[in-house]
Amino acid sequence: MKQVRYIITRPCLQEGSLRLAKYLDSTFPESGPAQFVDDRGREYAVEVDRAAGRVYGLRDLYHAGNLGVNDVLMITPLAPGRYQVEGVIKPHPAPLPSRPAAEPAPEARRVVVTATPHVREVRLEQPRPATPRVSEPAPARAPLTPVSEVRATEPVPLQAAPQTPARERSVPRAAAPLPTRLEEQLAELARLTGYRLTYPAPNVARLSAELGSHGYTVQLALQPDALQTPTWREGAEYTVLLTTEAERPQGVARLTREALAALIEHARLAPLSPIDLRGYWKAGNLDLESAASISELVGAHLAQRGAFSFVLLTLASQPAHSLVSVSRLAERLGSGVNTAELHSILDTLTRAPFLALTPLSGGQYLLRAEVHDLLADLAEYAEGMRRRVRASGEISPSSVLA
């Protein structure tokens, strides 16, 4: 079974198609009609057109899976012209809590006080309310703001400089704050993969994998001059310089900005841990090529989940308290799940919290209840555990079990 990962684009959604990129050549070797089967067992008739370089007929599949731009379609060949597909929706950051709608402030009127060929001074006057009034205070005036001109023959754009409230101003870490976008990316990577993020020096970020004897630390220089920091290599197993893909500094390991973004995307699709990433830090060049290798690891995780879903969907066609024959089940699954995977999945289904199967002699199992009911019970159990975990407080995923 060779599963491939396809990222959905806007033209795909508009046409109800997918593009036959080069890596899909072996997956769709011939033009003609084909069948896609989703993770709920629903079938979709599609048309492979190698001359046009596309597979058509996916509009209903995209709609049923609520798939959008940058979501992922996992495709697994089952037989010639027949494919198992699973949609993976890309996670989005949770929206900020909504704030009560505020009354729109009246638009300020800019009044020119003085003007020279190079500097123009303005003041902002707030318009008076339109409601009847007996007496009013004098209109508030903003401080005079110099505005530079580009050319004396053209009007100068009069823009008031934004004022940051005192409570929102950052306290510098002995240096100017890092770009917000980069800080957000590093924080997201740390959150998704289980590192602790700190900033031991200006323009130096530290990712600590606090895993006891399996732990390690990565020190990131966010600017080249950070390499001269006295504490640069102290207390870190791996040190890297943040660069772009085009930059190749000599004598120093690197992490590219493009690879950082790709790592975050991969970690959103499937769990990645400091144990998974240690070899890449050790190799000393974490770029897009390395990220592609990590993508294969993520694809393997998703393929395992797809195989598990395929077995459950096949078992769902049997009634409760019926016998499951491993050999007959393997025939029904075809090439979608190999023998070793099948035995591993069935063994998992015999244990808690599933308890879906009871092993019997002669390569058989007893299906204890209908799959739909088993999943409903499992969902109820998971929800109960989620409430208990929330009540007892968050548990760090990187904590070491005693």
Helix 288-315 crosses helix 371-392 at what angle (to 10 degrees)?
A: 130
Q: Indicate the helix (H) or strand (E) that contains 47.
A: strand 43-49
Instruction: List C-alpha distances in Å: 360 to 317, 318, 366.
Output: 20, 17, 7
All residues at 6 or more sequence positions from 40 whose CB lies less than 8 Å from its CB, including other chains: 313
Residue 104 · residue 94 · CB < 8 Å: no
Same fold, 4-88 and 316-392: no
Neighbours of 357 (CB within 10 A): 21
What pTM, to 2 d.p., does this model score? 0.50
**Residue pLDDT tens, the chain, 402 long:** 578 888 888 888 888 999 888 778 889 999 999 999 988 888 999 999 998 889 999 999 998 888 888 788 889 998 889 999 988 876 554 444 444 445 555 555 554 444 444 444 445 555 555 444 444 444 444 443 333 333 333 333 333 333 433 333 343 334 444 445 888 999 999 999 999 999 999 899 999 999 999 999 999 999 999 998 887 888 899 999 999 999 988 888 999 999 999 899 888 888 899 999 999 999 888 988 888 888 777 877 787 888 898 899 999 999 999 999 999 998 888 877 888 889 999 999 999 999 999 999 998 999 999 999 999 999 999 999 989 988 876 555 444 444
DSSP β-ladder status, 54-56 and 17-19:
antiparallel
Q: Which CATH architecture describes the domain 4-88?
A: Beta Barrel (2.40)
The ranges assigned to domains in the chain are 4-88, 180-298, 316-392
The distance from CA 267 to its chain's CA centroid, rounded to whole angstroms, is 6
Residue 321 · residue 356 · CB < 8 Å: no
What span, in angstroms and rounded, lies between the C-alpha atoms of 53 and 288?
Answer: 26
316-392 sits in which CATH class? Answer: mainly alpha
